[in-house]
Amino acid sequence: MIPELGQFALILALLLAAAQSVFSFTGAARHNEIWMTAGVSSARGQFFFTGMAFLCLGYAFYANDFSVLYVASNSNSALPLQYRLAAIWGGHEGSMLLWTTTLALWTVAVTVFSRHLPAVFRARLLGTMGLISIGFLAFILFSSNPFDRLIPAAMDGRDLNPLLQDPGMVFHPPVLYMGYVGFSVAFGFAIAALLGGELSPEWARWTRTWTTVAWMFLTVGIAFGSKWAYYELGWGGWWFWDAVENASFMPWLVGTALIHSLAVTEKRDAFKLWTVLLAIFAFSLSLLGTFLVRSGVLTSVHAFATDPKRGLFILAFLALVIGGALTLFALRAPRVGLGGRFGMVSRESFLLTNNVIMVAAAGAVMLGTLYPLFLDALGMGKISVGPPYFDTVFVPLMMPAIFLMGLAIFARWKNTELPALAIRLKWAFAVSVVTALILPLVMGKWTPLISLGLLMALWILTTAVVSLRERLLKRQGSWLTALINLPRAYQGMIVAHLGVAAFITGVTMVKGYEVEQDLRMSPGDTAQVGSYQFRFDSIHDEPGPNYTAARAHFSVTRNGNPVTVLEPEKRMYTVQTMPMTEAAIEPGLVNDLYVSLGEPVSNQAWAVRIYIKPFVQWIWAGCLMMAAGGFLALLDPRYRRRNKDQQEGEKA
Q: Where are the alpha helices (DSSP H) in 63-166?
A: 69-74, 81-86, 92-113, 119-143
Nearest CA to 191 out of 283, 313, 316, 255 is that of 283
Nearer to other proteins by C-beta: 324 or 637? 324
Binding flags for other proteins, 557-596, as an x/- string (CB under 8 A): ---------------------xx-x--------------x
Which DSSP string corresponds to 146-178? TT-B-SSPPSS-----GGG-SHHHHHHHHHHHH
Nearest CA to 527 out of 562, 569, 555 is that of 555
Binding flags for other proteins, 489-518, as an x/- string (CB under 8 A): ---------------------------x-x
Phi, psi for residue 246 in degrees, rounded to 5: -60, -35
Scanning residues 320 to 379, which ones bind other proteins (CB under 8 A)?
322-323, 326-327, 329-330, 333-334, 370, 372-374, 376-377
Nearer to other proteins by C-beta: 58 or 372? 372
The 8-class DSSP code of residue 599 comes to E
Which DSSP string corresponds to 185-209? HHHHHHHHHHHHT---HHHHHHHHH
Q: Mutual orientation of helices 92-113 and 119-143 as an angle, nearest 10°?
A: 170
Partners of 543 in the β-ladder? 548
Q: How far apart are CA 393 and CA 299, in angstroms?
A: 22
Scanning residues 398 to 457, which ones bind other proteins (CB under 8 A)?
none
Q: How far apart are CA 363 and CA 268, in angstroms?
A: 27
Interface region with other proteins, contact rule CB under 8 A, candidates 143-151, 170-178, 380-388, 437-445: 380-388
Interface region with other proteins, contact rule CB under 8 A, candidates 49-57, 295-303, 344-352, 527-535: 295-303
* CB 618 within 8 Å of CB 506: yes
- β-pairing, 526-529 vs 569-573, is unpaired
Interface region with other proteins, contact rule CB under 8 A, candidates 201-209, 227-235, 541-549, 628-636: 227-235
Q: Answer yes or no whether residue 311 interacts with other proteins by CB under 8 A.
A: yes
By rule CB under 8 A, what count of residues binds other proteins? 55
The 8-class DSSP code of residue 562 comes to E
Candidates 11, 63, 301, 438; binder of other proteins (CB under 8 A) is 301
Nearer to other proteins by C-beta: 202 or 567? 567
Phi, psi for residue 197 in degrees, rounded to 5: 70, 20
Rounded to the nearest whole angstrom, what is the least distance from the CB of residue 375 to other proteins in the complex?
Answer: 9
Q: Answer yes or no whether residue 598 interacts with other proteins by CB under 8 A.
A: yes
Nearer to other proteins by C-beta: 315 or 472? 315
Nearer to other proteins by C-beta: 512 or 629? 512
Helix (H, G, I), strand (E, B) or coil at 256: helix
Nearer to other proteins by C-beta: 382 or 474? 382
Candidates 80, 167, 197, 386; binder of other proteins (CB under 8 A) is 386
Binding flags for other proteins, 254-293, as an x/- string (CB under 8 A): -------------------x---x--x---x------x--
* CB 169 within 8 Å of CB 85: no
Give CA 332 to chain center in angstroms: 31
Please state whether the peptide bond connecting residue 308 to the residue before it is cis, i.e. omega within 30 degrees of 0.
Answer: no
- Return the amino acid letter for 590: V
Candidates 165, 295, 435, 491; binder of other proteins (CB under 8 A) is 295
Nearer to other proteins by C-beta: 240 or 631? 240
Phi, psi for residue 602 in degrees, rounded to 5: -140, -165
Rounded to the nearest whole angstrom, what is the least distance from the CB of residue 55 to other proteins in the complex?
Answer: 33
Candidates 11, 34, 112, 319; binder of other proteins (CB under 8 A) is 319
Binding site for other proteins (CB under 8 A): 233-235, 240, 242, 273, 277, 280, 284, 291, 295-301, 308, 311-312, 315, 318-319, 322-323, 326-327, 329-330, 333-334, 370, 372-374, 376-377, 381-384, 386-388, 516, 518, 578-579, 581, 596, 598-599, 607-609
